[in-house]
Structure 1
Amino acid sequence: MEPTATRRTVLATGTATVGLLAGCVSGTGDDNEGGDDSDDGSTAVTMEPVGTVEFDSVPETWLAYESDYADMGVALGVGDGLQAVGEPYRFHTHYYDELDIPYPAEPTPLWNDGVDKELFYELDVDVHLVDPNWLEHNAAFGLDADDVSEIEEYVAPFVGNTIFRRTDEWHDYEYYTLYEAFEKVAQVFGREDRYEAFSTVHDELLAEIDASLPDEDDRPDGLLVFEGSNEPEEFSPYRISDEGAGNKHYRDLEIGDALEGTGIGGLSTSDRGTIDYEAILDVDPDAIFLRGHEDKSREEFEETVLEYMADHSVASDLTAVENEQVFRGGPIYQGPIYNLFVTERTALECYPDQFDGELFDRDRVAEIVRDGE
């Protein structure tokens, strides 16, 4: 099956409908690798797997499934146009509260025991910041290639690429880093100035980290897992070595992958395997990073999850538990704002002798979001 080619064929014969409903024409097949603005205010953005999408004007309303793309939109100052996200509990607005920047309080959830095709018609946004293959290849969503093509033809185009992990077999086309994807979204909204400003803040943070990281022997090997309960027993493993955007902070902090050489793979749409405390004890990582607790404070996490592990007959023998090196793992979906906060937090937790205080300028970030300067 070649879904990209199918979409381009559909759109090549249905551009009048797309132009009428969405104010754009999608899927031209142009090999242009970036955004191309014309004198009449239209723009073209090229991103795999869809290809080139042409906009007659800047989209005003939009949605995202993965909240990394929602975070990109908020960072670009267009959060007021966000109508829906996949799962609102993964849209971590407490970061925005700390920055005192605007965001939509209650975006519509796309997920409700599946994804309803009709909801896309009801929302009627100008652009879907979603990888269409993500919708098509997740069996739990209940959508197929025809559904996705219909949404693209009769509602609005897709611009997006699943970037948070790189373990899905169906993702056999180009991947993008967090900031490469962020640049594409900035082109969609004509907010390249904000993208450039965020890139500067990001680069300054990484330069500070690189200058102070401890020697390799003093960096931990970490185990990254997901389990959202306060009394966890089984965990979905992720590979820290996975180059997806969701693991960016681990790579930037040069934290090792405790599962290297074990044969244990990472979570994907086709691999839903789990590991228990016995399996973790065989690896005995220096640190454990547990996803699913992003809305807890460090104190709340310690008083629930870490306390449970410390009293557990097997977990209590883990080096990471004994040394209190069990941490919140950060959002699965990381946009530029989430990433700044999580990189800082992980640096402070893993390398307390090297880092303290705030590692990036909150006021500067808020200014970029609000004013683009």
Structure 2
Amino acid sequence: MPRDDAARGAPTRRAFAKYGGAVALGGLLAGCTGGGDGADGGGGAESGDGDAESNSTASTESEPDDDASAGLPYTASMEPVGEVTFEAVPERWIAYDGGFADMAVALGKGDGLAGIGNADRYYTYVYDELPGVEVDRSPIEAYPEVRTKEEFYELDADLHLYDPQMLVNWFDWGEGDVEEIRDNVAPFFGNLIFRRSDGWHDYRYYTLYEAFERVAAAFDERERYEAFAELHESFIADVQSRLPPADDRPRVFLTFEGTDEPETFSPYRLVDKGTSKKQWLDLGVTDALAGTDVENLSTTNRGELDYENLLEVDPDVILVRGHERKSPTEFRDTVLAYMEDHPVGSELTAVQNGRVYRGGYLYQGPIHNLFLTERAAKQMYPDEFGPVTDDAELFDRQRVADIVNGDL
């Protein structure tokens, strides 16, 4: 049931958050003020690079004060929405994808989850390894595909972590529909960053931590963001210091194929710097499709490769997305076993060497990324980091839990 804020004397909906005048409105309506993957519900080559912008300011915030309202109002900005002014810190929120949901959980806002746009690709089991961190699955199960105006009205959230242009281009919303929900319910605040190959995304992209910084600004959680950024930087630096020389790193083919008996493969290109590729880029692997004319999977490119095509490339490692709810053993007993018995697939070097693995999430946030990078390091460099099936930990779970729980 929608909350009756006015009747309870709470701030009205439009007092809760508002867009910053013509700049924000122009960014939303035009959908282009500057400038991520797969067989994944909608829309893949990059147009724009957010990496150059890591030092930009995401928000204007006051110093902490004993008065809880001392820092209000405050602003946060993200393309294609522009600047949003918050009169109160958002409590209830919805995210389209697991990456933005994971950002909110990392910022200690998991209790405010009201629904999700794509529950099938939000993997909450990682939180089981973090002491004292839990996400209630009931809102996800009750609202697993929040994509209609009616659902936005019904949930009556304070913040929508959605790229509104994704709703326009994937789910046939009009610009008027976006304005209506923005004005009558709550602001949108998101950017489709998991890949960079959709032609309609002609505004700025962000790296994972650039987007995370902006979401932290929207929730007024600068300290938690900075703690995560410090942990992430230290973790990545340690892993990278242990990598072998570039010539000794594997040639990797990243693909989507959700069946247990794959016959064709939808290709991803690692030159696409979308956030779903972050762990592979941080680990310095080589794109096995380099030098070919194969394009990245996108809204308009749905091309596939068969085993004969793949044998011409013959990658050292094959990473298959679409199996993240399988254990490593279950994956090997199904997908890899089928490829080993295939008359052509069995000729692939990666198959012969048993180097076919699950390919990671399409949508990853900061917590997801720590786990996925740890797994990927073992997949790519088992001689250095140990086999992917062992329990060796490359980052401190307790420290992650402490940050989420506010022990900074």
Q: Is the shorter-chain TM-score for this pair beyond 0.5, marking a shared fold?
A: yes
Distance 2:276 2:268 in 1: 10
Matched, 1:20 2:5: no
Partner of residue 58 from structure 2, selected from 34, 47, 61: 34
Structure 1 position 358, deviation (Å): 1.1
- Looking at structure 2, the residues matched to 42 and 237 of structure 1 have their Cα atoms a distance apart, in angstroms, of 45
Alignment partner of 2:297 out of 267, 289, 308: 267
Which sections of structure 1, spanning at least 5 residues, go unmatched? Answer: 1-17
State yes or no: 1:371 paired with 2:394.
no
Return the alpha-carbon distance in structure 2 between the equivalents of residues 309 and 262 of structure 1.
23
Match of 1:7 in 2: none
Q: What secondary structure sits across from 2:382 in the alignment?
A: coil
CA distance in 2, matches of 1:369, 1:269: 35
Checking the alignment, whether the CA contact within 8 Å between 2:106 and 2:366 is kept in structure 1 is yes
Q: Which has the higher contact order (CA 8 A, sep 6+)?
A: 2
Q: CA deviation at 1:275?
A: 1.8
Q: CA deviation at 1:49?
A: 0.7
Q: Give yes or no for contact 1:289–1:328 (8 Å, CA) kept in 2.
A: yes
**1:323 correspondence with 2:353:** yes
The whole-number CA distance in structure 1 between the counterparts of 2:405 and 2:84 is 27
Q: Distance in 1 between matches of 2:274 and 2:113?
A: 24
Distance 2:285 2:200 in 1: 28
Mean alpha-carbon deviation: is it higher for 83-92 or for 62-71? Answer: 83-92
- Say yes or no: does 1:102 pair with 2:141: no
Task: Answer yes or no: is the 8 Å Cα contact 1:22–1:125 preserved in 2.
Answer: no
Does residue 192 (structure 1) correspond to residue 226 (structure 2)? The answer is no
Matches within 5 A, 1:191-230: 191-230=221-260
Give the C-alpha shift of residue 34 in structure 1: 2.0
Distance across 2 between alignment mates of 1:85 and 1:316: 40
Alpha-carbon separation, structure 2, partners of 1:34 and 1:238: 30
CA deviation vs aligned residue, 1:332-370 (integer Å, no higher than 9, x gap): 001001100010111012101111421100111011111
How far apart are residue 25 of structure 1 and its match? 0.9
Report the CA distance between 1:179 and its aligned residue. Answer: 0.3
Q: Percent identity, please.
A: 51
Aligned-residue offset at 1:277? 1.5
What's 2:393 paired with?
Answer: 358
Matches within 5 A, 1:152-167: 152-167=182-197
Q: 2:155 aligns with which of 117, 120, 123?
A: 123
Contact 1:28 1:51 in 2 (8 A): no
TM-score by length of 1: 0.90
Q: 2:135 aligns to what SS in structure 1?
A: coil
Whole-angstrom distance in 2 between the partners of 1:218 and 1:300: 29
SS of the equivalent of 1:254 reads coil
Q: 2:317 aligns with which of 287, 293, 297?
A: 287
> In the aligned structure 2, how far is the partner of 1:314 from the partner of 1:144?
47
Alignment of 1:50-61 (within 5 A): 50-61=81-92
Distance 1:21 1:61 in 2: 15
> Mean alpha-carbon deviation: is it higher for 333-342 or for 270-279?
270-279
Give the CA RMSD over aligned residues.
1.8
Deviation at 1:27, TM superposition (A): 3.7
Q: How far apart are residue 29 of structure 1 and its match?
A: 4.5
Cα deviation digits, residues 98-135 of structure 1 (max 9, x gap): 114121213244538xx322111111100101111111
